[in-house]
Amino acid sequence: MASLKRGYSESVSGGPAAGGSSTGQGADGDVAVQQTVGPDPYFPANGDPRYRVHRYELTLDYRPGPNRLSGAARINAIAGRASLAEFQLNLADFKIGRVRVDGRQPHYTHRGGRLRIRPAKPIRAGAAFTVEVHWSGNPKPVNSPWGGIGWEELDDGALVASQPVGAPSWYPCNDRPADKASYLISVTTPSAYSVVAGGRLLTRTAKASTTTWVYEQSAPTSSYLVGLSIGEYQTVLLGDPGLGGVPQHGHIPAHLLAEFSRDFARQPGMMHLFQQLFGPYPFDEYAVVVTEEELDVPVEAQGLSLFGANHVDGARGSERLVAHELAHQWFGNSVSIADWRHIWLNEGFAKYAEWLWSERSGGRSAQQLAAVAHRTLSSLPQDLRLADPGRKSMFDDRLYERGGLTVHAVRCALGDEAFFRMLRAWLSLHRGGAVTTSTLASHVARFAPEPLDDLFEAWVHGTALPPLPVLSAGRGAASA
């Protein structure tokens, strides 16, 4: 059984980044962080901030029986402010067949998940360069504090769910969330299997006993958000994509089709609501995959979410998780975090999207759900700081609940009209980029009738649980 353990269940209903940063300026003056200068403080061995990738082209051949993967990557990158005498990619323990930098053979070493490359001549500051890597072997999850993460061999097929550091389990990458690139992914596998990846399916070509699937993800994508699933699936259309709607597909084992049709029936309604509240869906299309096996939690990828068979019961028992994973397409995928200290920006807003869906679809209001979360947190240790929870606590249930409450506190302070304007502006300004907690605080301040420094200090930088924020009828009655 695939577990995809993260040390959290999603089941209970920051200050400036240390060090300098390379930034771009948003239209309203917000700072959109493109690259942090130093390594990620939670995962210093992952990623290389001395360059950035703008395109990955991956050609993969996978045989499910022997769990054999062979691949070739063409990586187009740009050096940073200093010349590169050497650089690194993250890649798990595969056999390396070939490495080239701009067509020339470099010196390289491959140890401990790091492919260190020294080009034949240093790469000039700001220069574009191309890296080619060929690799092969038996893919498996990489070790993490939450168990194995990344490529999961299933009883019949495979799936990839890489949050936070599992991407190197199957391809060489600059594994840091702020380094976002476009992807072209070609996967050849036996024809009995379907291949689902985040993005637009360009071609599907059958040849003898194999089929090659080619997907394009043109939007900037963090390495951990590149999702992939290989299995025997039936594909169904969710909703009508006509009249400018978002194409939505489900990929499901045939025996779960009846249950799936009930459990995901309201996803098109979620998509419609979230576009009203948050702005246009940021990608070309959206897919959900249900595996034959049970997963501890569903996991988002860019343009794609992965669910286990245990999340399909025919009674909409996991509907709030359907909303949560869809909301991540805006919060976390389109607008990403500069480093993992800021993960509450992903999870707090996705949690609050659950509450908004409940409120707008006839369930409990966001205020009622906030009260439940507040009561839960009041009985738990109050030693978690949203702005920097620490690697050990970055997937703690309390981060999700306190994050949702923080968003609710901002809504209470702004009122609905300003709150939803703020959300839509945030997602529009930083679409395709990476942000920090301080970026959000500066953005929210522009929509506030009075300074909110105390609110952010108490909810985000403090650990004690503040009083329950209350949405007044006068300020919260406006429709978005």
Q: State yes or no: 324 annotated in a binding site.
A: yes
Instruction: Give the separation between CA 37 and CA 277, rounded to whole angstroms.
Output: 34
**Rounded alpha-carbon distances, angstroms, from residue 36 to 39, 51, 435:** 8, 11, 10
- Residue 245: φ, ψ to 5°: -70, 165
CB 68 within 8 A of CB 122: no
Show the beta-strand stretches assigned E in 200-342.
200-207, 210-221, 228-231, 234-237, 248-252, 286-290, 299-301, 304-307, 336-337
Q: Is 407 helix (H, G, I), strand (E, B) or coil?
A: helix
Beta strands in 358-454 (DSSP E): 434-435
Beta bridge partners of 298: none
> Residues, the chain, total?
480
Q: Is 1 helix (H, G, I), strand (E, B) or coil?
A: coil
Q: Which of 317, 298, 463 shows the shortest CA–CA distance to 393?
A: 463
Instruction: Determine whether the annotation assigns residue 328 to a binding site.
Output: yes
Reference 187, options 156, 222, 149, 227; nearest CA is: 227
Tell me which residue of 366, 356, 379, 389 sits closest to 460, measured CA to CA.
389
Check residue 172 and give left, alpha or beta (phi > 0: left; psi -120 to 50: alpha): beta
347 assigned ligand-binding residue: yes
End-to-end Cα separation, the chain, in angstroms: 42
Question: Looking at residue 387, what DSSP letter applies?
Answer: T
| Distance (Å, whole) CA 477 – CA 256 | 40
Active-site residues, by number, are 325, 400
Cα 253 to Cα 64: distance, rounded to the nearest angstrom: 17
Pseudo-torsion of CA 266, 272, 275, 281, nearest 10°? 80
29 Cβ contact list (under 8 Å, min separation 6): none
Annotated binding site for Zn(2+): 324, 328, 347
Which residues participate in the annotated binding site?
324, 328, 347
